[in-house]
Structure 1
Amino acid sequence: MLPEPQQAETLTQHFTPRGTVRREADLRLLRRDRELDAARRVSEALFQHLTPDDMAIRALEIALETVDAESGSILLADSATEQLVFRHSIGDSRVKAGTAIPWDRGIAGEVFRTGIPIVIRDAHADPRHNASIDQMLGHVTRDMIALPLKRWEGDSIGVFEVLNKRGGRLDDDDLAILTIVSAITAASIEQARLFQDAKLAEVARIVGDIGHDIKNLLMPLVCGAGLLEGEMKDLVARSADLSGATAKDTFQLCAEVIHMVRGSSRRIQDHVAEIADCVKGLSSPAKFAPCRIADIVGSVYDTLRWQAQEQGVMLCRAGLEGLPTIIADERRLFSAFYNLVNNAIPEMSAGGTVTVYGEADSPAARILLHVADTGRGMPDEVKDSLFSIRVVSRKVGGTGLGTKIVKDMIDVHQGRISVESVLGKGTTFHIQLPIVQP
């Protein structure tokens, strides 16, 4: 029989490795169970007919619950600005939707560029950590995991972030679980993108067909307006002695209506063509010439005057007459202002106002224009999607493409457009246009 110390040593040699192996096996099983549970829950969400945004938020919720973390965000790449934009953010420290960071900086930027996930156990000791978000939120990031959201082809479309594990630090086991969640989330976003592309392609085909039919239907209207104008002139000439001022007033009103019908019929054709071009990603060449903003807005108001009157909405303007003549495509600017004003009118109750006002910024050789309404305002999810192909429409049957067309019109002029909106108070679009085109 071995002496006691030798016996203890032999037992340790025999049983310690076996116990360690057993514990490692248990940990692997536990990790696998967590991975399967996360995959099951995200997969179930896919079959709940959720919108892409709801699906993304549900994936974030599952991720935080599974790894017991405080906050999570999904950032999507915007190739036009080369930024990562916070699309969704949940948890203790939420980042406002629309907040953007350069896609070539920080931890998220590195993950997006390389396509390789990163586990950070001490964020403030990592030189890549972008502390500006913490400062903005009054929040401290202790640890984090950032994973790329990838298309099926392998290209990154954004970043999936999880911050601050409640008990301990985020580690490689948590990364394995989040890899599954992020992969399914990316697939869902990609599926939504492909569906949207297919939907827009179908819209383009339908709009093209509608445009052709509208053009044919408008021709009799244009000819009829000309005939009506001639008849009215003849009628007034023959009845001037009998009707006096009344006949002249009637003729004036009819002339205004005819002028509006003629202008509207032409612009309807142009507008339908622009919608078709927008969803196809095409654009006809701009025709730049000297034009006055006051005349363009005046034409818009003349076209929409009767519609606004029926709604009980006032169309106002201020500071436009004093603006300098600019070099621009008058037809495109008409379309841009028409869209903004026309969209605003139904958003207001009787007594509301739409005001277009402007000022010259002479040192910068540009003019500043504002389209303000006193309507119901927009929620963040609508406002943040404006000017993009993913625009959300609140109108029944609406495509939401109006503001995307506006953005395209402003871009053609090397201008800029932004929006401010407060629920219950109204919306203001801010437009900057150069006086002379570069």
Structure 2
Amino acid sequence: MRKEIDILRERVSHLERELRHKQLIISSIHEIGKALSSELRIDRLLPLIMEEVTQIIDAERSTFYVVDHERGELWSKIAQKAEISEIRLKIGMGIAGHVAKTGETVNIQDAYSDPRFDPSTDKKTGYRTRSVLCMPIFEPIRSSKSKPKILAVIQALNKKSGHFTREDEELMASLAAQLAITLVNSQLYLALEKRIQELNLLYSIEQEASYTDQDDTLYDRLLDKLVSTLKVKAGLIAFYDAKNHTFGPYYFKNIHKTDSKKIDLASDLGIEGHVLRSGEVYYTNCATHDPLYLQNQPSGLKFKINQLICAPLIINDQPVGIIQLFNKINQNDIFIKDDVKILTSASRQISRLIEARKLRQEKIKAERLATIGNMLSTIVHDLRTPMNNIFGFVDLMRDEEDPDLRNEYAEIVIKQIQILNNMAHDVLDFAKGKTSILPVKYPVNKLLEDFKKLFENEIKKQGYEFEVECRAASMLYVDPDKVIRIFMNIMKNALEAMDKGGKFSIKAFEANGEVVFQLSDTGKGIPPEIKDRLFESFVTSGKKGGTGLGLAIVKNLVEQHKGRIEVESTPGKGTTFKIYFKKL
């Protein structure tokens, strides 16, 4: 009876242990479930999950390996109680490498008796591996026809009591299935983060272009964005001169000025030549063994180049330069396809930016040349009237025998030459925004007499009527040459707007403490579409010559005299300008 009681007690004790273990499993699965539903970042999830896995299957320690198919290796994302911070294995190497290669689950009782076991990690750490349970984590199957990809490997070492069982395998398999979904979600989350990072980079590139017009500042900022986004130590932008087949100018980031002056890349060799010819991004994670890199190594750099990525800058299918980035900041990082995608997008954006800047600079240059051309055209156009006067009075002097009249004509010629000189200065001063009037006290009637004497013959000779009327006996504080220029510019526009036989008149009278000069013509009037912009530079409509700068100069000169100008115009009937100056 006592023996039976002992057996029952033993069974009860065993059942209690089993119950506690089941409760522990349920509690751990509950904790894992909570973690999986509340966190997307795998870095934060894995420590908790691996702690629970180790506890559930009663192991001494566990390791979670990420399978990097691009590198062909596994690396320990989480290694519990590991004596070294990171374990890296080639796919196919050791138990974990074998599982990553074959997709098999491995459960061995004596690791050192299995030929697949690699004891090198034990030798490095001093830890003694006995039993091993190692299992692949597959990508969730999306199609029955597709072969699932191995995302990771989970490995438990040294069962505390005995060996890993079939139950441990089933338990780990169920956890692996949950982890697979978590890994995929995390990868999608990271991919979204990278996409946002890429978009932020492209946006910041676009923004930088609007912040500065200085090339040095712009390309320094662009390189700063690239270096920080791709997490590299240094970089450069080199422009390509297709005519001379050389690189330059260069722009650098984290490369000392004294070193940068020594850099002279050949455009037809090495990685640089390959990128220019192919128009595609090229990268190497072992530069010292890369045959293209060895053809054209950057000289003068004080740091060793281990990793390099190079992208072309292309405008209209023609290479205009390259971007090069050197050495990942983290020594265990390498350039991967994601880096290629980001740099490809960035280089295209920078190429478009460079093209836009070139077009803008060419437009500015063309506008400057056009402005100079318009100014020259205006000067030549405006010079015709005084030049015609000079020719006319010189012709009169040749036939005139009266010395007094000859002297009078000579004075007029000298005056016209001064006007020519002043006109050239006026146009240049207007373009530069300068003020250059020399005001003196001057009678109103004398201004009209001067104007009449200079231009009456020319106006009538061209077939127009001319009328001058002065009803003001006041003095003005003005620059007489500039006021004559005002009258002349308005007169020129009037003559161009009238048919032969038309009438141009200039009158002066006083009103409200001001002297008003009224200049009228019987021409076609001012077109409505330009009336509101009449005094802007280079505004013109329907004229055979000139550019419209004349009236802009008129307004500028009137304002320099603290005066004001008004215009009234009726299409088909004519135009009247009124200029107001304060009388003394």
Counterpart check, 1:147 vs 2:141: no
Q: Secondary structure at the match of 1:168?
A: coil
Q: Alpha carbons of 1:112 and 1:34: their partners in 2 closer, same or farther (altered >3 Å)?
A: farther
Counterpart check, 1:96 vs 2:39: no
Task: Name the counterpart of 1:201.
Answer: 195
Say which structure, 1 or 2, has more relative contact order (CA 8 Å, 6+ apart): 1
Counterpart check, 1:124 vs 2:112: yes
Q: Alpha carbons of 1:384 and 1:268: their partners in 2 closer, same or farther (altered >3 Å)?
A: same
Task: Give the Cα separation in 1 of the matches to 2:230 and 2:84.
Answer: 35
Task: Give the Cα separation in 2 of the matches to 1:321 and 1:207.
Answer: 27
Is the 2:107–2:164 contact (alpha carbons within 8 Å) kept by the matching residues of 1? yes
Task: Give the Cα separation in 2 of the matches to 1:299 and 1:139.
Answer: 53
Counterpart check, 1:170 vs 2:158: no
Q: Secondary structure at the match of 2:62?
A: strand
Q: Alpha carbons of 1:274 and 1:304: their partners in 2 closer, same or farther (altered >3 Å)?
A: closer
Task: Give the Cα separation in 1 of the matches to 2:16 and 2:175.
Answer: 23
Task: Give the Cα separation in 2 of the matches to 1:191 and 1:31.
Answer: 30
Counterpart check, 1:85 vs 2:75: yes
1:144-190 CA-partner distances (Å, limit 9, x unpaired): 11111222233211101111122322222222222233333333222
Is the 1:76–1:87 contact (alpha carbons within 8 Å) kept by the matching residues of 2? yes
Task: Give the Cα separation in 2 of the matches to 1:322 and 1:185.
Answer: 51
Task: Give the Cα separation in 1 of the matches to 2:245 and 2:112.
Answer: 55
Task: Name the counterpart of 2:122.
Answer: 134
Counterpart check, 1:329 vs 2:272: yes
Task: Name the counterpart of 1:309.
Answer: none
Alignment counterpart, residue 31 of structure 2, candidates 41, 64, 68: 41
Task: Give the Cα separation in 2 of the matches to 1:100 and 1:193.
Answer: 20
Q: Secondary structure at the match of 1:329?
A: helix
Which residue identity does 1:133 align to in structure 2?
Answer: T
Alignment counterpart, residue 45 of structure 2, candidates 33, 50, 55: 55
1:294-317 CA-partner distances (Å, limit 9, x unpaired): x98x9545x779xxxxxxxx8764
Is the 1:149–1:159 contact (alpha carbons within 8 Å) kept by the matching residues of 2? yes
1:52-105 CA-partner distances (Å, limit 9, x unpaired): 2121121111112222322221111112221112222112x44432x3222123
1:339-380 CA-partner distances (Å, limit 9, x unpaired): xxxxxxxxxxxxxxxxxxx9xx9xx767485549xxxxxxxx
Task: Give the Cα separation in 2 of the matches to 1:319 and 1:209.
Answer: 31
Q: Secondary structure at the match of 2:85?
A: coil
Task: Give the Cα separation in 2 of the matches to 1:135 and 1:84.
Answer: 19
Task: Give the Cα separation in 2 of the matches to 1:322 and 1:208.
Answer: 29
1:188-226 CA-partner distances (Å, limit 9, x unpaired): 2221110111233334345445544544x26xx44xxxx
Q: Alpha carbons of 1:304 and 1:94: their partners in 2 closer, same or farther (altered >3 Å)?
A: closer
Shift of 1:116: 3.0
Task: Give the Cα separation in 2 of the matches to 1:320 and 1:69.
Answer: 59
Task: Name the counterpart of 1:435.
Answer: none
How does 1:335-354 map onto structure 2 within 5 Å? Answer: none
Q: Alpha carbons of 1:31 and 1:71: their partners in 2 closer, same or farther (altered >3 Å)?
A: closer
Task: Give the Cα separation in 2 of the matches to 1:77 and 1:370.
Answer: 35
Q: Secondary structure at the match of 2:156?
A: strand
Which residue identity does 1:147 align to in structure 2?
Answer: M
Shift of 1:42: 1.1
Greater shift in the superposed pair: 269-278 or 104-113? 269-278
Q: Alpha carbons of 1:387 and 1:124: their partners in 2 closer, same or farther (altered >3 Å)?
A: same
Shift of 1:22: 10
Q: Secondary structure at the match of 2:80?
A: strand
Q: Secondary structure at the match of 1:119?
A: strand
Q: Alpha carbons of 1:323 and 1:155: their partners in 2 closer, same or farther (altered >3 Å)?
A: closer
Is the 2:140–2:181 contact (alpha carbons within 8 Å) kept by the matching residues of 1? yes
Which residue identity does 1:177 align to in structure 2?
Answer: L
Which residue identity does 2:85 align to in structure 1?
Answer: K
Greater Rg by CA: 2
Task: Give the Cα separation in 2 of the matches to 1:210 and 1:323.
Answer: 29
Task: Give the Cα separation in 1 of the matches to 2:197 and 2:80.
Answer: 34
Task: Give the Cα separation in 2 of the matches to 1:387 and 1:81.
Answer: 10
Task: Name the counterpart of 1:111.
Answer: 99
Q: Alpha carbons of 1:123 and 1:273: their partners in 2 closer, same or farther (altered >3 Å)?
A: closer
Alignment counterpart, residue 192 of structure 1, candidates 159, 167, 186: 186
**Please, which runs of 5 or more residues in structure 1 have no aligned partner?**
1-11, 223-260, 279-285, 306-313, 334-357, 373-380, 391-400, 410-438
Task: Give the Cα separation in 2 of the matches to 1:318 and 1:214.
Answer: 24
Which residue identity does 1:161 align to in structure 2?
Answer: Q
How does 1:227-238 map onto structure 2 within 5 Å? Answer: none
1:369-417 CA-partner distances (Å, limit 9, x unpaired): 5549xxxxxxxx9654564689xxxxxxxxxx89x869x99xxxxxxxx
Which residue identity does 2:27 align to in structure 1?
Answer: D
Greater shift in the superposed pair: 265-274 or 102-111? 265-274
Is the 2:70–2:336 contact (alpha carbons within 8 Å) kept by the matching residues of 1? no
Task: Give the Cα separation in 2 of the matches to 1:90 and 1:300.
Answer: 46
Q: Alpha carbons of 1:65 and 1:20: their partners in 2 closer, same or farther (altered >3 Å)?
A: closer
Q: Alpha carbons of 1:405 and 1:179: their partners in 2 closer, same or farther (altered >3 Å)?
A: same
Which residue identity does 2:155 align to in structure 1?
Answer: E
Identity of aligned residues (%): 16
Task: Give the Cα separation in 2 of the matches to 1:206 and 1:81.
Answer: 27
Task: Give the Cα separation in 2 of the matches to 1:170 and 1:83.
Answer: 26
**Please, which runs of 5 or more residues in structure 2 have no aligned partner?**
142-147, 232-238, 277-287, 305-328, 348-584
Task: Name the counterpart of 1:74.
Answer: 64
Is the 1:69–1:164 contact (alpha carbons within 8 Å) kept by the matching residues of 2? yes
Q: Alpha carbons of 1:138 and 1:318: their partners in 2 closer, same or farther (altered >3 Å)?
A: farther
Is the 1:75–1:88 contact (alpha carbons within 8 Å) kept by the matching residues of 2? yes
